[in-house]
Amino acid sequence: MRRFAEFYQRFLDLIEKATFAVAMTLTAALFLVTSLGIITEQTTGNSLVWTEEINNLLFAWIIFLGAGAIARRGGHIGVDLIHGYIGPRGLYALRVLYAALAMIVVFVMVWYGHRMAMFVGRSQTSLYLDISLYYYYLSIPAGGVIFGLMTIGTILPGTPKREDELSQLEEIPE
């Protein structure tokens, strides 16, 4: 089991780096498109109507990819109040509970996100650029898959820990 966990954690390291690289690239593109829209508006008095559509597409992908990637390191909102009162086994039990609840969210994101992308993508396109809305809604299941992979990694040995847990949790109990 330990060998599988090490392999899986290395796999998640690659997924995490790739996801952050894509999210940072999309964030740079979002900045550039927004800047272009603002500069065009200020210099010519006319706005580029397509910038909002591109920004919405980029923003959706950035949010869902980023939300999936930060799950591994406990980057989502949490309540740290009880961390100081329970030991390593209690923290591990909380991680398992988190993973179980998060996998329900993952299922909803992937299953219904894919269905919504397929349903909307068949018939609707963006107003100005004529991009299928499938590409907008596909960000939901894609982020859900990454979220699920990272969530599984939180309960395996070798999970990158948050700084407040480092002092309390040296190794996951077996």
Give domain status of residue 40, yes or no.
yes
pLDDT at 72: 81
Residue spans of beta strands (DSSP E) within the chain: none
Name all contacts of 80-86 with Cβ < 8 Å and 24+ positions apart. 80/164, 83/164, 83/165, 83/168, 84/168
Task: Judge whether 173 lies within some domain.
Answer: no
CA atoms within 13 A on the CB side of 148: 15
**Each residue's pLDDT tens digit, 56-92:** 999 999 999 999 888 887 777 666 677 778 888 888 8
The predicted-structure confidence for 4-46, as pLDDT tens digits, reads as follows 989 999 999 999 999 999 999 999 999 999 999 999 999 998 9
**Confidence category of residue 163, pLDDT binned at 50, 70, 90:** very low
Q: Which residues pair with 132 in a beta bridge?
A: 125
pLDDT tens for residues 90-107? Answer: 888 888 998 999 999 999
Whether 125 maps to a domain, the answer reads: yes
Report which of 4, 2, 24, 19 is spatially closest to residue 72, judged by C-alpha positions.
19
171 within some domain = no
- Provide the residue range defining the domain that includes 55: 2-166
How many domains does the chain fold into? 1
Rounded mean pLDDT of the chain? 87
- Residue 71 counted as domain residue: yes
In this prediction the pTM is 0.82
Q: What is the pLDDT of residue 79?
A: 64
Give the residue with greater pLDDT, 172 vs 18.
18
**Long-range contact set of residues 134-140: C-beta below 8 Å, sequence gap at least 24:** 135/57, 136/56, 136/57, 136/60, 137/113, 138/113, 138/114, 139/60, 139/61, 139/63, 139/64, 139/65, 140/60, 140/64, 140/109, 140/113, 140/114, 140/116
pLDDT the model gives residue 88: 81
**174 within domain boundaries:** no
Q: What is the pLDDT of residue 74?
A: 72
